[in-house]
Structure formats: structure tokens, C-alpha cells
Amino acid sequence: MFEKEGFTMQLSYTILDVFTQKRLQGNPLAVIHDADMIPDKLMQAIAKELNLSETVFVQSPKNARHVAELRIFTPSVELPFAGHPTIGAAVLLGLRQKVTAIRLEEKVGTIVALTTPKNKSMGHARFSLPKLPERVGDAPSVEDIARTLGLEVEDIGAGELIPAIYSAGVPYVLVPVRCEAVLSSIKLERRGWQDVFDGESREVYAFAPTKDDRHAQFASRAFVEMDDLREDPATGSAAAALCGLLSDQLFDEDGLVDFSVKQGVDMGRPSLIEAQIKRENGELVHAGIGGHVIILATGTLFLDEDE
């Protein structure tokens, strides 16, 4: 809702936890409703103030057949696409409008999300990626990656999996490591980070195959540059990029493969991202992600008219 009383704007918002079925886990997301009249500069200021990994602004769609247009902001920049805002907004709009097929407009393209309500405050969503993940560059040297992650050279790589840069709208340096124990032992060396990761992306998504985990086939950690270098508890756009690497390097036979990635465990915010790829005639033809969402809070932002 957007109202003016004197010199104050009132903007309703919802806080969600995404890629989890438990509150205070997963990746928190702020959804600002009825955002048609909010200028870009104010959207960025709100996202910076809330200081979550992403804040999504729901606007009227350009196409009347669609449910909404989403604008996605980190505390410092606008993104063309992000997984957890898409999943979170799809579930919330599905619950509010009592629909299960949600067409969302993002800068990367139109996304059709299928939602399933669990109760009045929780649901599940999945969607096919509007842009298939592709390799967009070479990773830095193994020696440089190991040094910046506080690992040994022999820790980088897992079987046939090797580092590379992939993107499904947002590029990531994807770094397979030997095992979950190595993944948990990562300690960032921030000095020289921008010199090492100076190519297509400065965002690093480290991952490892899991062992004896019936819920997830991979574990991951994401290190992203917002206002500063920080760890993200659940990164849907990185899992989307990972679909491309796994299609090229691991699941390279034709057919449909479902897998899940756990993230945020080392942060005390466990998350589970569901993913799917399909190959035909030796090519990746489909990739998608999904997950659960639960509502944490609702409220109102009060802003001066001249903000």
C-alpha cells in the first residue's frame, strides 16, 4: 500500500525466510508492496537501510497477463535476476492472490513460477530459468583461489569437477572443493581479493559433494560483494549457475536430473535449494530451481516525501 499523510509515505512490507521451512533459517528477504511510485534512488536507499542480501519491490506488470514486475536490489546495486527473491515473491503473491501459476517480469526476462501453499504463512515455489546457465569465463588459477580461500592447492577440485565462471543472469566463480570438511574450513583472505577475482565475477560460490546426506547432494558457501565482502546464507542465482557447470562436467548424459544444495550451515542459517537440469542430444535444454518459503513479519515503512 502506498499512501501519503502530510509529508510521509507509508509502504507496507513483508519479511520472508527463503529456502527453509523454519523461521530464522534460510535467507531473509524483504518484499516491498505496491512499489509503482517509488523512484529508483529511493529503492536503493531502502535496500541499503534494510541491509539484507536482497530486497524486492513489487510493481504492476507491463503485461496484463502477468502477476507483477519485480525490481531486485542488494544494498548497493540492482540485479537483473536473483533466485531467492523470485522464489520468495512467488510464494507470497501466490498466498495473497490464491493462485498457483505466477508470471513475474524481471530484467532477465519473464519467469513462470509454480507455487504450492502449505498453510497461510508457508509455501513452495519452483521455476524454470529464463536464461539457461552458460560458461562465461575461466576461473583464476588454482593457486590464487586456494590462497584467497585459505585452503591448500590440493583442496581445490572434486573428482572431475574444476573451477569455472558460469552465469544464468548473474556470473559466479564456481569453485568445487574436495569435501564438506574443506568447505567448512574456508577462511577468506580479503587482501588481494579484487586482484584475484578481476574477471567476469568477484562473487565466489564454493561447493562440495556431500556424503551420506539424504537431503542434499551438494553443500555450498557463497561469498559475495555487496557493500563489503560477506557470506550469503542461500544463493539461488549461484545454484542456477551451478546447474550449468554440473551439466558440462558431471551430469553430461541426456535425461532429467534432480539434486539439492544445502547452504548457510556454517552461518547457523541452514538452507536447502532444489535444482533440476535436463539434457537432450548432448545439450542443456532446461534448468530450474525451487524451495520453501515462510513468512516471518509484516510492517510499514514511514518515509519523508522528499527522500
Bridge partners (DSSP) listed for residue 43? none
Annotated catalytic residue within 3, 5, 49, 54: 54
Rounded Cα distance, 179 and 168, in Å: 25
Rounded Cα distance, 224 and 201, in Å: 10
Which residue reads 592447492 in cell numbers? 153
Q: Helix (H) and strand (E) counts for the chain?
A: 6, 18
C-alpha cell at 290: 525451487
- Residue 301, Cα to own-chain centre: how many angstroms? 25
Rounded Cα distance, 45 and 207, in Å: 32
Rounded Cα distance, 164 and 201, in Å: 11
Closest among 223, 240, 231, 233 to 145, alpha carbons compared = 223
- Asked whether 103 and 125 are in contact (CB, 8 A), the reply is no
Active site residue 200: no
- Catalytically annotated residues: 54
